[in-house]
């Protein structure tokens, strides 16, 4: 366990209006603030494990987290990438279920834990939050269904291009405006695309040859955004 310390208050949190709690009533934000437990996770540390029971939800103050599902043969499938302002752990809580996926920090990450009881109480009393929650769930469901279709119908080349664009959408670029603002291993990218690591490495090399990306270790620079969109068979 880590040393507990607060990132100021929920009321003044930089992510307050950037999260699902954006429309929560002041009094409830106060209530959550009093019960929250702040924590820091180092890169690679686990927030929770698939199969464990949820005791609350986690709100990311700063950092990046991957949510991954374990396939029957133990192979990782990354199902979501999370960033500052994102909340995680709500799916299992609302289903009354165990966690369906594990959460691992992709870099040093500041997180606030909101205990189940207060979260549910606020959800019961604040219609605005409940609707935001339903919207969040609906959006995630939609994304999952679209991904499902692409996984079933698109070749790997297109899926990789799409994944690179998805990473860009999620984490954006560094100051230079072209380097993806996250470091993922080739294996992690493969587990996001749903393919073998070697295939991902090979195709990234192809993309480089085609001048679409530049590779520098784990740094990936997007050189030809339009061409990548085209390769993914998507319209902007």
Partner DNA sequence: CCACAAACATGATTTTTATCATGTTTAATC
Partner DNA sequence: GATTAAACATGATAAAAATCATGTTTGTGG
CB of 221 to a second copy, least distance (A): 27
Look up residue 208 and give its two tokens: 């480089």
Taking CB under 7 A as the binding criterion, the range among 57-65, 132-140, 171-179, 194-202 that sits at the site for DNA is: 194-202
Taking CB under 8 A as the binding criterion, the range among 56-64, 106-114, 120-128, 199-207 that sits at the site for a second copy is: 120-128
Look up residue 197 and give its two tokens: 């690591």
50 binds DNA (CB under 7 A): no
91 binds a second copy (CB under 8 A): yes
119 binds a second copy (CB under 8 A): no
75 binds a second copy (CB under 8 A): yes
Of 199, 218, 192, 202, residue with least CA distance to 75: 192
230 binds a second copy (CB under 8 A): no
Please name the residue ranges forming H helices in 67-155. 90-95, 116-125, 127-153
180 binds DNA (CB under 7 A): no
Please, are residues 38 and 32 in contact by the beta-carbon 8 Å criterion? no
Strand spans (E) along the chain: 37-41, 46-48, 56-62, 65-70, 76-82, 87-88, 102-105, 109-115, 213-216, 219-222
Q: Which does 201 bind (CB under 5 to 8 A by kind): a second copy, DNA, none?
A: DNA
Residue 72 or 175: the one with the smaller Cβ distance to a second copy is 72
CB neighbours (10 Å) of residue 134?
11
Taking CB under 7 A as the binding criterion, the range among 51-59, 120-128, 165-173, 195-203 that sits at the site for DNA is: 195-203
- CA dist 15 and 156 (Å) reads 35
Interface ranges with a second copy (CB under 8 A): 69, 71-73, 75, 77, 79, 90-92, 94-97, 100-101, 123-124, 127, 130-131, 133-135, 137-142, 144-154, 194-195, 233-234
């Amino acid at each position: 366990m880590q040393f507990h310390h607060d990132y100021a208050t929920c009321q003044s949190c930089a992510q307050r209006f950037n999260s699902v709690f954006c429309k929560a009533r002041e009094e409830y934000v106060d209530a959550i603030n009093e019960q929250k437990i702040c924590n820091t996770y180092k890169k690679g540390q686990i927030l929770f494990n698939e199969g464990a029971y949820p005791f609350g939800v986690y709100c990311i103050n700063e950092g990046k987290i991957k949510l991954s599902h374990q396939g029957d043969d133990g192979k990782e499938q990354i199902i979501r990438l999370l960033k500052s302002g994102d909340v995680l752990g709500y799916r299992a809580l609302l289903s009354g279920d165990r966690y369906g996926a594990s959460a691992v920090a992709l870099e040093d990450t500041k997180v606030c834990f909101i205990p189940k009881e207060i979260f549910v109480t606020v959800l019961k009393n604040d219609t605005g939050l409940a609707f935001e929650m339903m919207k969040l769930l609906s959006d995630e469901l939609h994304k999952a269904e679209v991904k499902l279709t692409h996984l079933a119908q698109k070749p790997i080349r297109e899926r990789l291009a799409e994944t690179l664009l998805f990473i860009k959408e999620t984490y954006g670029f560094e100051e230079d405006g072209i380097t993806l603002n996250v470091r993922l291993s080739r294996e992690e990218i493969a587990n996001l695309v749903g393919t073998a690591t070697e295939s991902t490495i090979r195709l990234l090399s192809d993309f480089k040859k085609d001048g679409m990306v530049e590779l520098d270790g784990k740094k990936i620079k997007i050189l030809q955004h339009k061409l990548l969109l085209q390769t993914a068979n998507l319209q902007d």
